[in-house]
Amino acid sequence: MSEKVLMQKKTRERLLTAGDGCAFISGLLLSALPIETSWWLLLLLFSFFYVRKRKEMILLSIACIGGTMLFYPDQLIEIVLLSGCVCAWMLVMQLLKRPSYKTLPWFLMLMSGGVAYAVSEPVSKIIVLMLGQFILALDTYRDCGWIRKELQLPDAVYGSLIFIAGLLLMQILNQEYFALLIFVFMLMSVKPAVSILFYLYLEMLMPGLITPVAFGFLLLVSLLQDQPLAMNGLMLVGIAAQGFDFIAIVQGLVLLLLFDLLRTSELPFKGMMERVALSDMNRIAVMNRQLNNFSVIFENLADYYASLSEVESEMLETMAKALSYTANNCTRHQIDVEKRKDQLLDFLDGYKIDVVSCLLEENEEGCIYLELELKELPRSEVEATLMPLLNHVLPTRMELVEKKNNRNYSGLFHYSFISSAPIMIDAYADSIRHDSQACGDSFSIFRYSRFVLCMISDGMGSGEAASRISRSITAIFQRMIASNIPQVEAIRCINKLILSDNYATFDVLNFDRFKKTVTVSKSAACPTYLIRADEVYEINGSSLPVGIVASIEVDSIHVEVEKGDWFLMSSDGIYVDEIYRWIHQRRLGSAKEEVDAMMEILREKERNDDSTILLAQIK
């Protein structure tokens, strides 16, 4: 996914989301049950979708009212009154500028007690309904992180939807035992406290359906749901207790198998990715351990050869470092975002910025999207204080794209940030051979993550030997950069690996498209020319060629780039006057067009050496 797609995804609302669909389906399910069964579920679900998004609340209302008109038209007034009470309470909280999530559990508890009393429920049932509603609401509103994130249902809401589906199955299938098994297995996907509450509700709705012994058995199964072996054993005992009813036993065994499959897969809209993530991290940990083992082997060999041959010892030590770099970075893609998020939160905490929730995403191109819920930090403070901090901590420059006051939480501000639009690099290169032999110059334009690397290597002399060493340098360097080995360390490593009678120059421009910088490294390479507006700047280095001595100091020059900049790299077969002639005659076309124009200038003279030109334009 490119940064353009990610920006569009985050800065523009989709017409329908998973939350919209879930709210609509919830409304349809509620409308299919009689009001005396579903009113307490309506209170919880309506308040949940109201707090999440007003659009989701409207969709739930439309589906619920429409379904009620179809199934139970005489109950329409009760549905409207219950929904109106929740809306009125939310509006009162907004007018009083009080956080609604702190008051909703108490309101829903009192509302449940009032409704239960109005319909003449017994005192014991009123108490159970009030306490149950309070516990479910506390589970739903214990934090506000889920409001701005992708739909992730709390256990109480997820259990409510499963409960409704179970009741409908009992009505449709007209087989209490089979439907009850489905209901029990489905409830195993939520936490024990929630599932136990719904068992109590089921007993109140259908007295005698669950005997005290069966309820104790279900309670034990719920408590053991995180221990599959013990829970499956108990379920088998329960199925066997049905006697010799063959159909009931087969149904139970099939459902037990389905439940085991359900537990090991990701449930829709529920955060159950831990098992998958753990599996991936285990595989990565094995790879990391293997690479580190090989690194240690090469270190031991380097120690052994230290007294025999200094050159071989340094080569082995360099290879050990390369493997170590790769091992340390092989988990980078999986853990860097969380690590960066933790660093950001620690940093903001040090500046006394109160962060309620944080969502950080980074795509493969290096584009970062950040959402922050902050307490008492107005926009003026964000621009003056927060933005410089984000630009210091995060690897890309950030822009504020959205600011909202949370209507349900007084003093809480929601901010969305995204990496500033990256620069685009239009690069092209070409070579002219000195004679009919292989060209001793090699060039490469390599795009990796948010980086664009432009390279020229000029092997000593010309012909096949020069071509071989220059090709090897550019190819190995690309692989090292793709393995997250730092640029300077990669060049030092290559220098030791190819140390021999042959050597080569090496010239690198490493553009970071999001930071809008370029890092220049030169090993005995010709000057790089930066053409900005009407000014021409030479960038020179002082490092030795690659492969000539065992240890070299690598140049590393950092330059901030601007749109419209041109960078020109060349090998030593090109004369300075030819470069300046092209600068004065350039037509500001594409990089390919300008390289072609430069080639025409070079072909006017007979070449005494292989000649390579590489142009990169910042757009």
CATH of the domain at 558: 3.60.40.10
More confident residue, 545 or 313: 545
* Inside any domain, residue 2: no
Q: Please, which residues bridge with residue 519 across strands?
A: 510, 558
Q: Mean pLDDT throughout 566-583? A: 89
- Whether residues 561 and 605 share a domain: the answer is yes
Per DSSP bridges, beta strands 425-432 and 441-448 are unpaired
Whether residue 401 lies inside any domain: the answer is yes
Task: List, in order, residues 6 or more apart from 500 with CB less than 8 Å away.
Answer: 547
In a domain, 12, yes or no: no
* Any domain includes 498: yes
Q: What is the spatial distance between Cα 114 and Cα 101, in angstroms, rounded to a whole number? A: 20
pLDDT bracket for residue 428 (50, 70, 90): very high
Query: pLDDT tier at 335 (50, 70, 90 boundaries)?
Result: low
Could you tell me the pLDDT band of residue 279, with boundaries at 50, 70 and 90? very low
Phi-psi map region of 528: left, alpha, beta (phi>0 left; psi -120 to 50 alpha): beta
Residues 429 and 556 in one domain: yes
Residue 565: predicted pLDDT: 93
Collapsing DSSP to helix, strand or coil, 99 comes out as: coil
Whether residue 404 is predicted with pLDDT greater than 50 in this model: the reply is yes
Give SS3 for 466.
helix
Kindly state whether residue 262 falls inside one of the protein's structural domains.
no
**547 and 438 within one domain:** yes
Please give the average per-residue pLDDT across 495-523, as a whole number: 86
Percent of the chain with pLDDT over 90: 10
- What's the domain range around 519? 425-618
Residue 277 confidence (pLDDT) above 50: no
pLDDT level of residue 410 (50, 70, 90 thresholds)? low
Assess whether pLDDT exceeds 90 at residue 529. Answer: yes
Kindly report which listed range (29-33, 140-144, 240-244, 385-389) carries the lowest average pLDDT score: 240-244
Distances (CA, A) of 424 to 355, 516, 564: 34, 9, 10
Same domain, yes or no: 226 and 87: yes
**In which residue are the tokens 């970075």 written?**
329
283-305: buried (b, 16+ CB within 10 Å) or exposed (e) per residue?
Answer: ebeeebeebbeebeebbebbeeb
Q: Let me know whether 22 and 116 are in one domain.
A: yes
pLDDT band for position 329 (50/70/90)? low
Diameter over CA atoms, the chain: 105
The verdict on 412 and 452 lying in the same domain is no
Could you tell me if residue 11 is inside a domain?
no
Pair 443, 455: CB distance under 8 Å = yes
- For residue 357, the model assigns a pLDDT of 79
| Same domain, yes or no: 414 and 429 | no
- Cross-strand bridge partners of residue 330: none
- Residues 115 and 39: beta-carbon distance below 8 Å: yes
Q: Please report whether residue 260 resides in a domain.
A: no
Q: Which residues, in sequence order, are bridge partners of residue 416?
A: 371, 402
DSSP 426: E
Band of pLDDT at residue 472, cut at 50, 70 and 90: confident
* pLDDT band for position 12 (cuts 50, 70, 90): very low
Could you tell me if residue 266 is inside a domain? no
Q: What is the pLDDT of residue 8?
A: 46
Give the number of domains in the chain. Answer: 3
Here the tokens at position 317 are: 């030590």
Contact (CB, 8 A) for 469 and 503: yes
Residue 6 vs residue 489, higher pLDDT: 489
* 124 and 92 part of one domain: yes
Q: Are residues 239 and 369 in the same domain?
A: no
Same domain for 203 and 174: yes
The last residue of a domain, from among 420, 445, 460: 420
Count Cβ atoms below 10 Å from residue 10 Cβ, excluding itself.
Answer: 18
Mean pLDDT of 311-338: 66
- Residue ending a domain, among 398, 420, 442, is 420
What is the pLDDT at residue 1? 39
Lowest mean pLDDT among 183-187, 472-476, 548-552, 570-574: 183-187
Q: What is the mean pLDDT of residues 110-135?
A: 85
Report the mean per-residue pLDDT for the chain.
76
Contact between 413 and 403 (Cβ < 8 Å): yes
Residue 510 pLDDT = 93
Token digits of residue 580: 């300046």
Asked if 63 contacts 29 with a C-beta cutoff of 8 angstroms, the reply is no
Burial of 211 (0-12, 13-18, 19+ CB in 10 A): exposed
The pTM is what?
0.51
Instruction: Choose among 134, 93, 99: nearest CA to 113.
Output: 134
Range from 42-51, 169-178, 444-453 carrying the lowest mean pLDDT: 169-178
Report CA-CA distances (Å) from 358 to 6, 100, 244, 490: 18, 20, 56, 35
Whether residue 93 sits in one domain with residue 193? yes
Per-residue pLDDT band at 324 (split at 50, 70, 90):
confident
Helix orientation angle between 212-223 and 176-187, rounded to the nearest 10 degrees: 30
Same domain assignment for residues 406 and 436: no
- Other residues' Cβ atoms within 10 Å of the Cβ of residue 584: 6
